Amino acid sequence: MSAGKLALVVGGGNGIGAACCEVMHAHGWSIAVADLDEAAAQRTAEAVGGSAFHLDVRSIASIKALADQVESDAGPVDALVVSSAIFQGNVPIEETDEELFDRVMEVNLRGTYHVNRVFGMRMATRGAGAIVNLASVTGQGSTPLNIYGPGKAAIINLSKSFAGEWGGRGVRVNSVSPGVTLVPRIRERKASGDRYPADLDQRMALRRCVEPNEVAEAVEFLASSRASGITGTDLVVDCGWMTGALWGAYLGGLR
């Protein structure tokens, strides 16, 4: 249990971020939720008795203002979770453009970098803190997500870089890489056959996709003192998607 400790979940209004708020609350954390979607942040905060804040990770002024506001309203942030992201369609490289590249990278990579920087510097000054960034299995290898994936690979690397920078000042930084996770948007797409193959579950070693709370449990573990010796690590929570993909090249795949 992490009684009395404050977790700020950026992008906590929906999906995996909202699951992180619920699971961390159940483990005893106090919760602050920050999101571009103010109504969603409010909904999540109400469900866990926490506080809601507006944030646009594309604005460094907005991130700095949030840091001041959360500290004065709720106290110093013990754990930061960064789950905010936007997604790209299945667009061949020839059909991508600068606008799509900048739009995805601005939220996913630049936003995550600056949220880590602003909150991590405060943690380093205080001499304690834990950061968990949501990366993705698309950052581990080759997928059709030719902008989103490279951005996620960079998030895994920035987590390792920041871990080295601040380890001597008591701040741990790790990432979690989910596989296909059944947040409402993806559950609907999977059911309608949009983008995902009909035998998707059979391609995973565990023969199913990930539930949001399974990602959240990994995030909570890395944020908690139970992971006191872990920094600069990426934890994959993919129900064995990557394992199944490698087996796919042999004897027809998983048996």
Ligand X SMILES: NC(=O)c1ccc[n+]([C@@H]2O[C@H](COP(=O)([O-])OP(=O)(O)OC[C@H]3O[C@@H](n4cnc5c(N)ncnc54)[C@H](O)[C@@H]3O)[C@@H](O)[C@H]2O)c1
Active centre residues (catalytic): 148
Task: Spell out, one character per residue from 2 to 41, where the chain touches ligand X: x when CB under 6 A holds, - when not.
Answer: ---------x-xxxxx-----------------xxx--x-
3-state SS, residue 33: strand
Task: Spell out, one character per residue from 179 to 218, where the chain touches ligand X: x when CB under 6 A holds, - when not.
Answer: -xx-x-xx--------------------------------
Q: Which stretch binds ligand X (CB under 6 A): 23-31, 51-59, 116-124, 190-198?
A: 51-59
**6-10/30-35 β-pairing:** parallel
- In this complex, which beta carbon is closest to ligand X, that of residue 24 or of residue 124? 24
Which listed residue (85, 131, 219, 236) binds ligand X by CB under 6 A?
A: 85
Backbone phi, psi, residue 15, to 5°: 55, -135
Smallest separation, CB 168 to ligand X (Å) = 28
Q: Which two tokens stand for residue 210?
A: 């990930």
- In this complex, which beta carbon is closest to ligand X, that of residue 57 or of residue 124? 57
Smallest separation, CB 172 to ligand X (Å) = 19
- Whole-angstrom CA distances from 163 to 166, 216, 237, 254 are 6, 21, 20, 36
Which listed residue (51, 116, 136, 159) binds ligand X by CB under 6 A?
A: 136
- What's the CA angle centered on 124, arms 45 and 161, to 5 degrees? 95
**234-237/129-134 β-pairing:** unpaired
Q: Which two tokens stand for residue 32?
A: 């602050």
Smallest separation, CB 211 to ligand X (Å) = 11
- What's the CA angle centered on 139, arms 252 and 239, to 5 degrees? 50
Partnered with residue 172 across adjacent β-strands are 130
DSSP one-letter code for 50: -
Question: Among positive and negative, which fits the CA dihedral 53, 85, 117, 120?
Answer: positive
CA-based nearest residue to 31, from 41, 98, 99, 205: 41
- In this complex, which beta carbon is closest to ligand X, that of residue 124 or of residue 181? 181
Which listed residue (6, 57, 154, 216) binds ligand X by CB under 6 A?
A: 57
Smallest separation, CB 89 to ligand X (Å) = 14
Smallest separation, CB 4 to ligand X (Å) = 26
Half-sphere exposure of 232 (CA within 13 A, CB side): 10
Q: How many residues bind ligand X (CB under 6 A)?
A: 28
Q: Where are the alpha helices (DSSP H) in 132-252?
A: 148-166, 184-192, 212-223, 241-247
Which listed residue (7, 52, 55, 235) binds ligand X by CB under 6 A?
A: 55
Contact between 58 and ligand X (CB under 6 A)?
yes
Enumerate binding residues for ligand X (CB under 6 A).
11, 13-17, 35-37, 40, 55-58, 83-86, 107, 111, 134, 136, 178, 180-181, 183, 185-186
